[in-house]
Amino acid sequence: MPGDTKSAVLASRQHSDSGVEVRSPVVEDGAALWRIVVESSVLDANSPYAYLLWCRDFARSSVVATVNGEPAGFVTGYVRPDQPDTVMVWQVAVDSEHRGHGLAGRMLDHLVDGLAAESVAWLEATVTPDNQASTRLFSSFAQARGADLVQEPIFPAGLFPEEHEPEVLFRIGPLV
């Protein structure tokens, strides 16, 4: 990559990082989370009501990234009731204008670091076989953490009431 192009990319990332804040969601973020999912045209959109509830009831196991005060991405998750050392990541989404700057990885780091005090040592997520972006995200996250990544089928396509790809469980840990 030519020096001036590389410098421009780095400057762009530094500029975008300057106004970034990663924090727990609040109910007022719910509508923006729903909008980000709908506009992604890739993720399964839940009802707007579900995102409001998520921001209220699962705020400690979810994060929102804002850029200059506006939601730009989020991770929704929950600590598994039957495995309190495991956070299940439900959705990871980044608004299209903020993709490619490492925001998703930053949000995962923030989430896991915040839950470490609660003895969360494992991260799980499900990914469809064609979702290369999520596969790269979780693989990079595991590698950066020096953690194992085990993939195994969890929900075959036939379990879904409508056409849906199978879901593969990604289990990452122990987290360091």
Using one digit for the tens of pLDDT, what is the confidence trace for 15-71? 345 689 999 999 999 999 999 999 998 888 999 999 999 999 999 999 999 999 999
How high is the pLDDT of residue 17?
58
CB 144 within 8 A of CB 169: no
Using one digit for the tens of pLDDT, what is the confidence trace for 106-134? 999 999 999 998 999 999 999 999 999 99
Rounded (10°) CA dihedral 17, 19, 22, 26: -160
Mean pLDDT of 151-155: 97
How high is the pLDDT of residue 176?
73
Residue extents of the structural domains in the chain? 18-173
Q: Under CATH, what is the fold of the domain 18-173?
A: Aminopeptidase (3.40.630)
CB 36 within 8 A of CB 74: yes
87 pLDDT more than 90: yes
2 pLDDT more than 80: no
- Across all residues in the chain, what is the average pLDDT? 89
Mean pLDDT of 70-85: 96
**Percent above pLDDT 90 for the chain:** 83
Reported pTM: 0.86
